[in-house]
Amino acid sequence: MDAFSLVLIAGGIVAVVVAALQMRGPLATIRRLDETQANIARYESWRGKQTGPQADGPTGADVMRAQMRQRLIVWGVVAAAGLVSVVVGLLVA
């Protein structure tokens, strides 16, 4: 193995590990928001759905969920690039 393939493999492993660690936060946030949304849906089914101008449109939780999904996509791309780097490093070696 030459130095280039070792750098590719090490860099790919680091990218995958960092991406996995960074994805934990958004996944936990999305899970927490989903649990809260399910609780709200149960409460509204018992109480009756809210009507009026405040009931329309996305909520703050919807916006936050979209932001967390965007972060997951970005870190997923980083993890995929890390995997590609590891494979290329192994093929070069």
68 in Cβ contact with 30 (< 8 Å): yes
In total, how many domains does the chain have?
1
Main-chain dihedrals φ then ψ at residue 56, nearest 5 degrees: -90, 155
The verdict on residue 52 lying in a domain is no
The verdict on residue 55 lying in a domain is no
The verdict on residue 66 lying in a domain is yes
pLDDT of residue 81: 97
The verdict on residue 79 lying in a domain is yes
pLDDT of residue 54: 62
**Residue 52 DSSP class:** S
* Tens-binned pLDDT, residue by residue, of the chain (93 aa): 799 999 999 999 999 999 999 999 999 999 999 999 888 888 877 777 666 556 667 888 889 999 999 999 999 999 999 999 999 999 997
- Per the structure, the complete domain to which residue 16 belongs is given by 3-46+60-92
The verdict on residue 30 lying in a domain is yes
